């Protein structure tokens, strides 16, 4: 499908090198969009990722999957949206997004759901889609709150959290940075999720191990030990601008030991102090409608403050509204 010199095609396995090469020059891509990450759960989703070309070169990509007549910026990823080159200007983004919507519309896909990339992950300003979703009359269907520390403007960690650090030091806890995920998964994370939420981790032990082997610089496990016993830990997904907390859990003695206060004081003030942002992630439940107040309070005691992640639904037929943006 041709539109204003742009063409759109559905991604296939033969396009992997093209996809990877494009990501290297994108201003809003992280390692989550690499195919070796996206495809660990290929059996759960029907991939419908798109590549946008101009004069034979990839200028944009949309990691996506499809369900019935609706496309999603990939449901298996924490965030998504339209990936753009660093050099791409607004007028081109208008034409690119119009081409994507028209391609989907002509394929019989009536709606596109976009799970937006939080702005802290961008390498350059990249709010083009916020504007274009306004023009295409997209409906905001969800908003989550993330607790984020800006390490260029850090706040002092609250005294009650530092009391936990003191407890941990008295108990002689220690932190280990490891590449073995089994102790945390099997002894801490899985039992806690089963007990408190009747749930399993999004990633199985096998999956997180495979992903960490593929992305050893990006997926890092930190465990807390008392003597030789693991008492808690956290899994960090690290991008160029952000250290994101993917998993966090500790055993029933965490309050008495100060396990998580001890771990996160170290992660924030030492291990990731030079990373631009430290992202605790969301404290939302019930599709964004509610907030776990205790969890939010704990994050805010470390200096985390709010940014939002927005979710939109846009009618693909509204690509026509983009034709009149420029005067």
pLDDT score recorded for residue 4: 58
Is 48 in contact with 39 (CB distance < 8 Å)?
no
Instruction: Give whole-number Cα distances, 82 to 33, 64, 110, 293, in Å.
Output: 11, 10, 18, 32
Distance CA 46, CA 108 (A): 16
SS3 (DSSP) at 157: coil
Question: Over its length of 327 residues, how does the chain's per-residue pLDDT go in tens digits?
Answer: 445 589 999 999 999 999 999 999 999 999 999 999 999 888 889 999 999 999 999 999 999 999 999 999 999 999 999 999 999 999 999 999 999 999 999 999 999 999 999 999 999 999 999 999 999 999 999 999 999 999 999 999 999 999 999 999 999 999 999 999 999 999 999 999 988 878 889 999 999 999 999 999 999 999 999 999 999 999 999 999 999 999 999 999 899 999 999 999 999 999 999 999 999 999 999 999 999 999 999 999 999 999 999 999 999 999 999 999 999
Domains and CATH numbers, the chain: 2-142+310-324 (3.40.630.30), 153-275 (3.40.630.30)
Residue 30's nearest CA partner among 312, 279, 272, 270 is: 279
- 55: alpha, beta or left, given left = phi > 0 and alpha = psi -120 to 50? left
């Amino acid at each position: 499908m041709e539109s204003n010199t742009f063409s759109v095609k559905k991604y296939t396995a033969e396009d992997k090198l093209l996809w990877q090469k494009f990501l290297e020059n994108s201003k809003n891509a992280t390692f989550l969009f690499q195919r070796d990450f996206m495809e660990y759960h290929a059996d759960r989703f029907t991939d419908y990722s798109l590549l946008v070309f101009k004069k034979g070169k990839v200028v944009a990509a949309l990691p996506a999957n499809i369900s019935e007549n609706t496309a999603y910026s990939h449901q298996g990823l924490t965030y998504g949206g339209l990936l753009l080159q660093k050099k791409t200007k607004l007028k081109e983004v208008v034409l690119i997004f119009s081409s994507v919507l028209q391609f989907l519309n002509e394929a019989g896909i009536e709606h596109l759901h976009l799970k937006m990339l939080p702005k802290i992950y961008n390498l350059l300003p990249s709010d083009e889609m916020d504007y274009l979703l306004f023009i295409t009359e997209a409906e905001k269907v969800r908003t989550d709150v993330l607790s984020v520390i800006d390490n260029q403007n850090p706040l002092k960690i609250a005294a009650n959290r530092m009391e936990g650090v003191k407890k941990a030091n008295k108990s002689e806890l220690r932190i280990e940075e490891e590449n073995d995920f089994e102790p945390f998964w099997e002894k801490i994370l899985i039992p806690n999720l089963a007990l408190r939420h009747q749930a399993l981790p999004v990633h199985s032990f096998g999956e997180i191990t495979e992903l960490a082997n593929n992305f050893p610089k990006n997926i890092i496990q930190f465990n807390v030990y008392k003597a030789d016993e693991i008492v808690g830990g956290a899994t960090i997904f690290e991008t160029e601008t952000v250290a994101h907390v993917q998993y966090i859990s500790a055993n029933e003695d965490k309050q008495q030991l100060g396990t998580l206060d001890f771990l996160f004081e170290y992660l924030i003030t030492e291990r990731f102090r030079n990373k631009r942002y430290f992202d605790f992630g969301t404290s939302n439940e019930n599709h964004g409608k509610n907030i776990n107040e205790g969890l939010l309070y704990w994050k805010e005691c470390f200096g985390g403050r709010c940014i939002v992640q927005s979710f939109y639904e846009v009618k693909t037929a509204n690509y026509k509204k983009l034709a009149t943006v420029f005067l």
